[in-house]
A and B are shown apart, each in its own frame.
Chain A
Amino acid sequence: MRRSNQPSNLTRRHAVAILATLPWWAPALDAAAQPASPRLPPTPTAPLPPLDERTRGIKMERGGLSLDIPTMAETGASVPVVLFVNPASLGTRRVTRLGILAPLNPRPVVLEIELGSALAQARLTTSIRLGATQDVVGVAQLSDGTLWQHTVNVHLTGSACFDGT
């Protein structure tokens, strides 16, 4: 068949052409996939991989963390969230970071925040965008490295990806 002849005519030149371009655009794709890397101000601790990689495959307790988010939202363009860590369950530890993951969003790490010493409570109030009905995961990292998570299924009737706002 004609198809069987094609590889010998095409492969070498095409393979060389593709390989020559590969190193140029491969890093650009990586950069485009993670556009929101913070540059200012410098983080006080050593840089860590993204939150979704740190939490992948790890079994996390709920601990004292609660993720307060509506179980049904009219639009994903704005969903109010409260992340709260009960101080009674902390002991001598403190909460160093709070994060929110939405695994079905185009960028799964919704928010990651380093908490400072001026805070009286580990409580974060904000509103986030969701792309689809999914399990939203709140994550808290303690000063001893422990990760706590609380997962809430949020049902959306409209996605933020196609919304005008």
Chain B
Amino acid sequence: MSIEPIPGRNARLIVPPLVHAGEEFQVRLLIQHPMETGFRRDVNGELIEINLLESLSLDFEGQPVFTALSMNALTANPYLAFVVAIKQSGSFNARWRDQRGNVGSISASVRVVAS
């Protein structure tokens, strides 16, 4: 039996380290997760149990960036990117949970420099 990482524990939140105040930049979130749809079968022909992300949200210092309400057909290892602008330095924080109860989170900080 192969050793697999716990789904959703590996993730990347990619932001630029330095930005100007009010400058628009991209926040990219990549989560390592199988996003099992429940429609696939394994080598023995048995249906693989469904395991999708059931909640996912990203905020900046408590200010919401996005909240996913439904993620039925994101790809395995879901990737989401948004364009944001911030006034002050701070950190982005993403939190998620899948249908088996695995939870994960990741944060990344951005420093605002004088423009």
Contact = CB atoms under 8 A, between A and B. Distances in A.
Interface of A: 35-41, 43-44, 50-51, 77-78, 97, 99, 102, 105-107, 109-121, 123-130, 160-161, 164-165
Contact of A106 (B39, B54, B76): B39
Interface in B4-47: 24, 37-40
B82 A123 contact: yes
Query: Dominant SS at the B interface?
Result: strand
A118 B63 contact: yes
B75 A129 contact: yes
B72 A111 contact: yes
Nearest to B68: A113
B54 A109 contact: no
Nearest to A78: B75
B70 A111 contact: yes
A164 B83 CA distance: 32
Given A38-B69, A111-B73, A129-B37, A116 B55 contact: no
A62 to B, nearest CB: 21
B72 A116 contact: no
Q: Which of B37, B65, B84, B85 has the most CB of A within 10 A?
A: B37
A102 to B, nearest CB: 6
A160 B82 CA distance: 25
A86 to B, nearest CB: 13
B70 A126 contact: no
Nearest to B52: A36
B106 interface: no
A36 B64 contact: no
A112 B70 CA distance: 5
B84 A119 contact: yes
B81 interface: yes
A113 B73 contact: no
B86 A51 contact: no
29 contacts: A36-B54, A40-B54, A44-B64, A44-B67, A50-B70, A77-B76, A105-B72, A105-B73, A107-B72, A107-B73, A109-B70, A111-B74, A112-B68, A113-B67, A114-B69, A116-B64, A116-B66, A117-B64, A118-B59, A118-B84, A120-B84, A121-B24, A121-B83, A125-B80, A126-B81, A127-B74, A130-B73, A161-B37, A161-B39
